[in-house]
Structure 1
């Protein structure tokens, strides 16, 4: 078993909120709002039907369940027992099938190398001590030619103002302290980590929020939130 690539304070923070994961009016409202966009983009690139899919850092299972509903055979992994308990409990309500496991991406990569058609790692890299380690594990987990999807936050003044000052302190969209600016990752840095792990980058796309219309959209603006589609060579 490898050393756990996780920040205990981060795990504690999300564990304390775990019971609210499936409340669309809770602190997790942004995840509920952006999930149709994430799912549609991933499905458009990888066609999830009958695919073997891994969701790394699945939390309470919002994306994992939606990929299962699109016809994928989904495994979700996380290091928060409380979040996984909530995810498993919600399966009784949704009637979907997802295999949830308490294990790190690094350890699962040792156990199941080159096993998955698709790997997703969304809104997680900015919360771990060593994102390059997580990226390398995702690359080992996917089959040659398979798809790996990441999403995270850019590191610049605009991202700091919108994602921390705006979202956490002004609009109260997220609990204060959700994000730490120093852990934000520039697209060039993420792309470099991916190349080093043997992943070819295919598309970089931005995720934007309009505070007036309260609507999220995908587009060219990668200044704050962005998603990256890669494939294993």
Structure 2
């Protein structure tokens, strides 16, 4: 199996790193292309794979072709490579906001295409990816893509309407979590804790909390109640967050991201 990546920024590099770390594909069977010679050189040195500025050679070589360009460059990329793609190849889109109908118009209605939405924690092997295939992709090919994507975290098949939500609840939300960690640390620093130590304590607390949600199967509200002792310190903090509208603000942020995604 040969993999191709058109566009090789942070997300594509994270995907490739996960695949290599799990030993799913050999380095010599992964090909990538970037916009400049300097970035191609950096990718080659960092990942040990073949990387050039030639999109067409990558497209011709790959059994599974990952489209990792920015949304505004997707149409031009399609014009460049679509006449050289075969109906046996599987196209894996990592392009935000571009729906299956649009991708089929650009690359051909006879092409096997999966839309995916990974997130940046893929860079540390803790990503979560939504996957939506068109009707031409076989069960075996879907499973193969899931295996590749699970090399750097979790991955599951979702419907296309849900995929736009995935892009916000898991794709954009790491930025919200980073902001929360920064705010937690700032509060600690304001009371005298060294900043480096504050970041470590805040980040580990968030990591552990997320793991409890995933591993216990308990509702987040139930886990919250376990921390809030009667007349204790935590319930006082929760009261402030509710007064300041934290819950509503987060909901509005997610919905704003979804609205923006639909306009891409």
Structure with higher helix content: 2
TM-score (norm 1): 0.43
Structure with higher strand content: 1
